[in-house]
Every structure is written in C-alpha cells, then in structure tokens.
Amino acid sequence: MASDKFVARHIGPREQEISEMLKKIGVSSVDELVDQTVPENIRLERPLQLEDGLTERQYYRKILGLAKKNKVFNTYIGMGYYDTITPAVILRNVLENPVWYTSYTPYQAEISQGRLEALLNYQTMVCELTAMELANASLLDEATAAAEAMIMMSNARTREKAKAGANVLLVDQQIWPQTLDVLKTRAVPLEIELKVLDVADFQFTDEVIGAMVQYPNANGEVVSYAGLVEKAHAADAKVAVAADLLSLAILIPPGEWGADMVFGSSQRFGVPMGYGGPHAAFFAARDAYKRIMPGRIIGVSKDQHGNRALRMALQTREQHIKRERATSNICTAQALLATMAGFYAVYHGPEGICQIADRIHCIAALLEKEITALGYLQLNRNYFDTIRFALPKYVKREDIEWLSLELEMNFRYFENGEVGLSIDETTNLDDINWIIEVFAKAANKPFPRIRQYPDGCTIDANLMRNSAFMQQEVFNKYRSETEMVRYIKKLEHRDISLTHSMIPLGSCTMKLNAATEMLPLSWIEFGGMHPFVPKNQARGYHEMMEELRRDLAEITGFADVSLQPNSGAAGEYAGLMVIREYHLSRGDHQRNVVLIPASAHGTNPASAVMAGMEVVVVPCDERGNVDLDALRQNAEMYKETLSAFMVTYPSTHGVFESSIIEMCDIIHQNGGQVYMDGANMNAQVGLTNPKRIGADVCHLNLHKTFAIPHGGGGPGVGPIAVAEHLVAFLPSHPVMNNGHIGITAVSAAPWGSASVLPITYGYIKMLGADGLKRATEIAILNANYIAESLKSTYGILYTGENGRVAHEMILECRHLKAESGITEADIAKRLMDYGFHAPTLSFPVHGTLMVEPTESESKHELDRFIEAMDSIYQEIQAIMAGKLDKADNPLKNAPHTAEAVTSDAWAHPYSRQQAAFPLNWLKENKYWPPVGRIDDAFGDRNLVCTCASTESYQ
Ligand SMILES: *Cc1c(COP(=O)(O)O)cnc(C)c1O
C-alpha cells in the first residue's frame, strides 16, 4: 500500500533495499550501523521534542493558513525594497523549475554552461547599467555588499596610505540605515573608522581611504557625485557608490563619473521582496581591482576544441584557496536570484527597462504635482522614484497613516514627521488615485481623478543618462514569450541538476528539495511582503519564524536562534562576532585567537579574519582526526588570548571523531568558546547535537541539511544557534525589532532571507521528529553502502574507530595518479560522460574526491553511481596495463561532446562507443556535455566577464 507519509518520499531506499544494503555493509540493522558510527558518549538522551510529521496535503493546508495571515498591502516604503513584476515566463521556467533551483555552484563548468551563461548575462547587465568594467555574479545583499566595498577600499589603499595606517571611510549619512548598521558591524573588528557625514562635509585628509555615497540617496534625492570622485581621486581615495540599479537606466551611471565600485540590490529586476530576501546584490568595479574583487566571477574561455566556453574566473581570489589570507569569506551567494534578474533584463531589453524606469519617475512626478496642489511641500529637488513631503500645519500625520492603512497602503514615515513615497513597477492608475485620495482627505480638500498615465520628466537634464546600454544581442532578441521560453530551455538543457542524477558532493548535501516545500515560494502572501511593514501585517511570517526558531533550537540543543545570516559563511561571521562580544562583555578584550583544524573549510579562517581574529591552524593526525595533543598545546599556549575553536562535526573528513567532547573541554578550560560549523548537520539531526558535543554556537546551512535548494550557488540561509550565555549578543536590526538586542546587524534584512524559510519549515513539519532522525540514519546508511562498494578499488581515506564513515567519505585517488597519470579532475570530467556531476574535488584533501549521497538517493541510483565509478576504475586499470593510451584516452579527453563523437574525423585509439556510451544504461538516458574540457588558464589570462557585443547567440 502506498504510504502518504512524506518521509517515504523524502528518503530514497525502500525497506527491501535497506535490507540489501545492510547485508552488503555487514550489519543486521540500521541501529547497529548507527551504533558503530556515532560515538556512544554524544548520543542524545531523548528523542527530539517535535510534532509528528504532517502529510504533504496537511502541510499544504497549514502553510496556506499561515500565508493567509500575511496581509499584502501596496507598499511605498522603498528603502531598498520595491514591489516588482516577476514575468510569469521566468516564474514558471526558472524559479519554479528544479533544473534551475537544484543545480550546484558551477565549479564543474562543462556541465554548467546554461547557468554560467545566465550569470554572464547578469554580469553584463550590471556592467552596462553601472557603466563599470567588471561585475561579479552576485553577493548576499546590499548591506553586506557595502561591507565588501569598504574592505576592498581598505585593501586598495596606496602604499603610502597603508604605511601611514590610513583607515577612515567617509560614509554618506543618507545611506540606508541597514547598510550603515552592517558597515558598523564589519568595520569595528577590522579597525576601520567610519565617519558618517553629510557628503558636503567630506574632507579627504591623509587618513581617508575612501568614500561611500548612495545614489539616489536615502531621502530619494539625486545628486551628481562627479566632483566628489574627482576630489577623492586627487587625494588617492576611492569612491564606492550604493546605487539603485533601475534608476541607472535614466540617470548618469556612477561609472561615467569614474567611481571605483558600484553596488546595490538587483531585487527590483523581477525578484519578489519576500519580506527581506533572498535577492542578489550586484557588485561592479573597475578592471584594476579584479584581483581583490569579492565573490564569484563568471568568465569566458574556450574548450579543448577551441569553442567558446564559460567558467568561473580568477578562483585564486576566493576563500577556499586563500583561507586566512582571504579578503572576503563569501562562498554561497545569490545565484538563482541573479539568474532571475538577468533573465528579466533579457526579456525586457534596454527599451523595456527604460520604459519601466520612465514610468516610475513620471508617476512620482505626477504625484508631486497633485499632492503639492493640496498644500504639501515636496522636498526632493531631483528624484527618481521617491518623493518626500513636509505636511502643512492643518494636516496630522496620524490621519495620513490611518487613511492609507484603510486603503491597504504603507507609506514611509520619516522621524521628523515627513512622509515619503517610493513608486515601483507595479504602481497603476488606481494606486495613483488612492494615494492622492489619502493626502486630499487628510487635508480635507477635494481631489481630481487621474485617468491617464502621466508623462513628463522633472529631472535636471545634466543628471540624465545619455549613453546607450545593453546593446548586446542577448538583450535585444527575446521579446515574445515563445522566444523567451525557448531561450530559457536552451540554457537549461546544457546543465546537470538533481533532475538528472544524484549530485554526490561531499559537504554540500544535495538532497531532495521537495515540490511541496517549494510551492509557497510563488505565493504573493510570502513574496509580496516588504520587510519594514508593521508587524501586524506579517502575522503568518512571524508565527512561522517563531516556530522555526524553536524547532531549530530543539534540533541543535541550544537556547535561541538568529535567522539573519544569509549563508553558512555569514553565519560563521555572525557566530564569531557573538563570541567576540561575549568576551568583551566580560572584560576579556585580549581574546582574539581562533584555533582552526587544518581540515576546515576555507570560509572558517576567512570568517575569522573578517571578525578581526588571529588564526592558528591545528594539524590533523595521520588518521585525519584533529591532533589532540597539538590542540591542547595551542589552547594552553594561547590561554590568555584564546577566543574560540572552530570545528566541523562530523569532521570534513567524514568521520565522527570520538574525542570531540574532550576537544571542547580543552577549549573551555582555557577560556575559549567552541564554534561548530554545522555544514555536516545532516549526520547529526536526531542522533546528537552541537550542544551535546560541547559547542557554544553553531550555524546551520539550511541550503544543505534543511532542504533549501542550492540554486546554482545560492540562495543560502545560515542561521546561528547559541547557548543561553550568548543569546544576549545575537544580531539586532536598526529598522525593525527582531527580538534580539546584541550586536549590530550582519544582514540588510531583519530576518534574513525570510521567503525561503517555508522550505525548511515544511521539511521539519513534514518529517517530524521520527522522520528527521530516519533521514540522518539513512544518510549514514547510504554513505556506508557506497564506502563499502568502493573501498576495494579506490579506497576510503578516513574512517571512524569501527571502520565506518559518517554521511560522506573521501575516495583516495592519489595512488591512481601516481601509477596512471590520471588525476581526480580527470575522473570528475569523465563522470560527465556517464551523466553524473562529480563529487567534491580536492577538498578537504588534495588529490581526492569526497562523496556524499544523502538520504534522498535510492539504492538504484547509488548502484548506478557505483557502476560508473567502477567502470572508470577499469578504464584507469586499462591505462596502467597499457591497453589504453596514457595520453589519448577517454579520461584525459573527457567530457566528450556529441559534436566530437559524431565528427567525421575521429582520431582516438578508443572507440566512439566507449567515449559516449561506456555503460549500457546510458543508451536510454544520455546527457551530452555541451562543451569539451575547458581551458581555465586561458580564460584567466584573457579575462572577459561580459558577453561581448559582437557575440552571436545562435
Ligand atoms: C558549505 C560549507 C561552508 C560554507 O557555507 P556557505 O553557505 O557556502 O557560505 C562552510 N563550511 C563547510 C564545511 C561547508 O561545507
């Protein structure tokens, strides 16, 4: 009988398969396997106190009920968030399409050409609108992008300034309050001094590294900063501009003044407000800064056949290479949202974007005229979308407030009593009339009825953009929906996602992102909410978030949770800053050393450096475990200055280290706090928890363990959970009371990326306590089944005391390289010919592959993967035996494109059949890699990060 329990859909293997797998492993039950895997002394003493799992239908009703408790008003608050129209063709074919949302960050470029092109379009759009030379493929939000710009300016100081210790950043006082708050958080540990001033008062003295201005500014005023840029450059200082991307369609873009960096949010390019996120922040800079630019950059290169091919450029800048020398900790960003914004630009094109921007401005201008006629005073001399009114004496602000709420509208209320309106793409004739009605009724005056969209621009001619933009073919070709859907499909067909095959990426937990979990994302009740509306309009959100925080606290064993950080790395940073504040509160100002095992993910040391801490690397022993003696020695040596220990558990080596409690004790005995990197939480839920192992704070990657999809490199959500003594230090927010009163904000939005939280909420509600535990157990079962199947060929690098792995394992490939010349990268590329995404390459151990199957994969799929790995192993054996050529073989030439395999000229010593169909089942489901092996070095030497205008898109 079919079960309607969600757990049976979430988990891959059927009961019969589980028995077969246990037999292969050589244990009699899942419990026995778990007992051999998870050390006794860290097991939970009681089951999770969560409700039983709901069926999918029950959950659907529940989340629908919560959605209905959100009241979606027309919101004119602005402040970085604007209502927008997601073209349905993008909503349905991108946001709701698992090929786009379940794919991984495009590290394996040959099977990621579709999303790489979508992101290249995004970068091109950003460069064109800002008039800058280089853009990245997104950052987490506008406020953290500002922090990245600040750090970049500090790193770009001239030698003289650096020597003199210049450290002052001039900040426009008219910058969003949330941006300023995050700047404050990020500046303090790096000893950058912020001087927040009226731009007119900026003085470029010797200690100034740069200036940051907002355009249009927080009042909505448009001012040219051309003169400021000149003054700054004359004093060897940089200028970073926070810009409204849409406004740049009609305003002179900062690149034309010579700005050094331009950043902001691309939310209003078709991405719903979502009560604060997720949205893609854009970041553009001049070419001179390409080596210190944060984030992922998509670049153009060529493949082995000389054809154009895309890949991620300049990766040596990134935290996974630079570690404690990194200048940014960013890893997961906002790829899916950047993809959407890029498609929005493709669909509308330059004339469409101009029309949208023009209409917004004209509506604002009309409202200025009509409302001024009622006796109000409009204060912005030049504006794009935002007008600001001083009220006449006979009007009470409270009247405007209740009249607007009556008509389901939210206006912006300045502290000095002024009232603001930011117009957006959705504002229509009815809205215009309702707005006028409110101002007229509050003034007790009659009001006209507006029957026609206005035209007429009020911006000074010398502020208006004259230059063309987005002239590339891709932005001028797809206007009908038919053309657009085919373009999206064309790109989609180039990529491997979870809809094709398992993605066995160790540490990344590519599990099911269930359709029922995803459905609410498209609902206006979640998408249409501005993050700064009165809380009583967002009751559904708050009920959901309260419950989610409670559930995550229960799962981690901790006292409270902050949902604010937008990625795992952002969570690490937030957690370390919480620890820092805790030490400060106790007068321990000197505690700034962080011990980090050599096996840690690159974000750990990078985040520690961003938090102003000194990183001390702790070695691992020959069994892959943290060297306990070395840990003790270091903890004792630094006992006066020890701040924290960052540890991933189970370890990045895929092992439950049995000494974890002892490790945490050592740290505590020496005055430090334990930060647990929660990326491997999928091996813990329901069996153990961070509190139980002795940690004080952890982050959770909701986009790994808790079912939020990877989206090709984001969104991510990285909440932090903390023990009781750290609750008082959790991040607050300058605009909305988010229930926490600790450090200043770490993200722009009060609750981070709220609109994707229903995914995790649904995951927990539908699995329930038993299902969550079962998911963990089967994740461990699946990993041990693969380990058992591949240990006699590749070999498993590290195991626990009983020879078991946790939820992932490292496959040894170094001996193969030594004997055959075949590298782990060759194996990764060859897997593409078998229709698989490679496992994690060379992390955490160089020359190896790390495999994590997750609980969502069935035995059938695991067997296919094992067969492919075995088949590749046989190919390597054939090379060693001289049966295949050492240089010209299916591995070195992988992946094989359809074009190469069907070419009239086939000069290889192995057959076409072996190249493309090495296993029988490929005949019924063949994925053809769209390009051959990509030349990374060529692309880095000849950096091109936009689609050239001459390019032909067939
Ligand atoms: C994924 C991962 C991170 C970083 O998380 P992001 O969400 O990408 O910032 C940190 N540590 C480990 C072990 C990870 O696997």
pLDDT in tens, 310-323: 999 999 888 888 99
Cβ(597) – ligand 1 distance below 6 Å? no
Distance separating alpha carbons of residues 501 and 936, to the nearest angstrom:
26
Distance from the CA of 761 to the center of ligand 1, in angstroms? 21
Mutate to test the pocket of ligand 1, among 319, 323, 332 (most ligand atoms within 8 A of CB): 332
Contact 928, 897 (CB under 8 A): yes
Regarding the domain delimited by 98-346, which CATH topology (the fold level of the hierarchy) does it fall under? Answer: Aspartate Aminotransferase; domain 2 (3.40.640)
Distance from the CA of 869 to the center of ligand 1, in angstroms? 26
Distance from the CA of 117 to the center of ligand 1, in angstroms? 24
The predicted model gives 891-919 an average pLDDT of 97
Chain centroid offset of residue 545 CA? 20
Mutate to test the pocket of ligand 1, among 701, 720, 840 (most ligand atoms within 8 A of CB): 701
Q: Which amino acid belongs to residue 863?
A: D
pLDDT of residue 349: 98
Distance from the CA of 100 to the center of ligand 1, in angstroms? 20
Nearest CA to ligand 1 atom 3: 568
Residue 7 has pLDDT above 60, yes or no: yes
Cβ(720) – ligand 1 distance below 6 Å? no
Distance from the CA of 603 to the center of ligand 1, in angstroms? 7
Ligand 1 atom closest to residue 332's alpha carbon, by position in its atom list: 8
Distance from the CA of 569 to the center of ligand 1, in angstroms? 6
Ligand 1 atom closest to residue 571's alpha carbon, by position in its atom list: 9
Ligand 1 atom closest to residue 569's alpha carbon, by position in its atom list: 9
Cβ(771) – ligand 1 distance below 6 Å? no
Residue 699: other Cβ atoms inside 10 A: 31
Residue 705 has pLDDT above 80, yes or no: yes
Distance separating alpha carbons of residues 477 and 121, to the nearest angstrom:
13
HEC profile of 145-175:
HHHHHHHHHHHCCCHHHHHCCCCEEEEECCC
What is the per-residue pLDDT across 641-683, written as a single tens digit (0 to 9) for each?
A: 999 999 999 999 999 999 999 999 999 999 999 999 999 999 9
What is the per-residue pLDDT across 362-387, written as a single tens digit (0 to 9) for each?
A: 999 999 999 999 999 999 999 999 99
What is the per-residue pLDDT across 334-363, written as a single tens digit (0 to 9) for each?
A: 999 999 999 999 999 999 999 999 999 999
Please report which confidence band the pLDDT of residue 954 belongs to, taking 50, 70 and 90 as the band edges: very low
Q: Helix and strand tally (H, E) in the chain?
A: 31, 26
Nearest CA to ligand 1 atom 15: 507
Cβ(575) – ligand 1 distance below 6 Å? no
* CATH class name, domain 774-940: alpha beta
Cβ(569) – ligand 1 distance below 6 Å? yes
Ligand 1 atom closest to residue 648's alpha carbon, by position in its atom list: 13
Chain mean pLDDT for the chain:
97
Nearest CA to ligand 1 atom 8: 332
pLDDT of residue 835: 98
Ligand 1 atom closest to residue 603's alpha carbon, by position in its atom list: 10
Please report which confidence band the pLDDT of residue 875 belongs to, taking 50, 70 and 90 as the band edges: very high
Mutate to test the pocket of ligand 1, among 507, 717, 756 (most ligand atoms within 8 A of CB): 507
pLDDT of residue 455: 86
Q: Is 611 helix (H, G, I), strand (E, B) or coil?
A: coil
Cβ(713) – ligand 1 distance below 6 Å? no
Mutate to test the pocket of ligand 1, among 105, 141, 572, 603 (most ligand atoms within 8 A of CB): 603
pLDDT of residue 953: 36
* CATH class name, domain 44-55+534-767: alpha beta
Cβ(334) – ligand 1 distance below 6 Å? no
Cβ(699) – ligand 1 distance below 6 Å? no
Distance from the CA of 330 to the center of ligand 1, in angstroms? 10
CA dihedral 70, 48, 773, 25 (to 10 degrees): 170
Distance separating alpha carbons of residues 180 and 172, to the nearest angstrom:
9
Distance from the CA of 637 to the center of ligand 1, in angstroms? 29
Distance from the CA of 507 to the center of ligand 1, in angstroms? 8
Cβ(144) – ligand 1 distance below 6 Å? no
In the chain, where are the structural domains located?
44-55+534-767, 98-346, 774-940
Nearest CA to ligand 1 atom 5: 568
Distance from the CA of 647 to the center of ligand 1, in angstroms? 12
What is the per-residue pLDDT across 516-555, written as a single tens digit (0 to 9) for each?
A: 999 999 999 999 999 999 999 999 999 999 999 999 999 9
pLDDT of residue 456: 85
Cβ(327) – ligand 1 distance below 6 Å? no
Cβ(507) – ligand 1 distance below 6 Å? yes
Nearest CA to ligand 1 atom 6: 568
* Percent residues over pLDDT 90 in the chain: 97
Please report which confidence band the pLDDT of residue 949 belongs to, taking 50, 70 and 90 as the band edges: low
Cβ(701) – ligand 1 distance below 6 Å? yes
Residue 206 has pLDDT above 70, yes or no: yes
Nearest CA to ligand 1 atom 11: 601
Distance separating alpha carbons of residues 699 and 721, to the nearest angstrom:
6
Give first-to-last CA distance, the chain, whole Å: 50
Distance separating alpha carbons of residues 439 and 419, to the nearest angstrom:
10
Distance from the CA of 606 to the center of ligand 1, in angstroms? 12
Cβ(568) – ligand 1 distance below 6 Å? yes
Distance from the CA of 825 to the center of ligand 1, in angstroms? 21
Mutate to test the pocket of ligand 1, among 105, 328, 331, 703 (most ligand atoms within 8 A of CB): 331
Distance from the CA of 455 to the center of ligand 1, in angstroms? 49
Distance separating alpha carbons of residues 164 and 150, to the nearest angstrom:
18
Structural tokens at position 326: 């990194």
Cβ(332) – ligand 1 distance below 6 Å? yes
Mutate to test the pocket of ligand 1, among 139, 599, 653, 677 (most ligand atoms within 8 A of CB): 677
**Is there a common fold for 44-55+534-767 and 98-346?**
yes
Structural tokens at position 639: 């006992």
User: How many residues appear in the chain?
Assistant: 954
User: What letter would DSSP give residue 929?
Assistant: -
The predicted model gives 396-416 an average pLDDT of 98
Ligand 1 atom closest to residue 652's alpha carbon, by position in its atom list: 13
Residue 951 has pLDDT above 90, yes or no: no
Distance from the CA of 320 to the center of ligand 1, in angstroms? 10
Cβ(844) – ligand 1 distance below 6 Å? no
Contact 308, 302 (CB under 8 A): yes
Please report the DSSP string for 360-372 in residue order.
HHHHHHHHHHHHH
From 41-45, 365-369, 453-457, 898-902, the region with the lowest mean pLDDT: 453-457
**pTM score, whole prediction:** 0.98
pLDDT of residue 454: 87
Ligand 1 atom closest to residue 572's alpha carbon, by position in its atom list: 10
Cβ(679) – ligand 1 distance below 6 Å? yes
What is the per-residue pLDDT across 800-844, written as a single tens digit (0 to 9) for each?
A: 999 999 999 999 999 999 999 999 999 999 999 999 999 999 999
List phi, psi (to 5°) of 732.
-95, -170
Helices (H), 2-87: 6-10, 15-25, 30-37, 56-68
Distance from the CA of 648 to the center of ligand 1, in angstroms? 10
Cβ(603) – ligand 1 distance below 6 Å? yes
Distance from the CA of 701 to the center of ligand 1, in angstroms? 7
Measured CA distances, 845 to 199, 653, 678, 707, 826 (Å):
50, 8, 19, 27, 16
Instruction: Output 3 or 18, whichever has higher pLDDT.
Output: 18
pLDDT of residue 948: 74
Cβ(716) – ligand 1 distance below 6 Å? yes
* Furthest CA-CA distance within the chain: 94
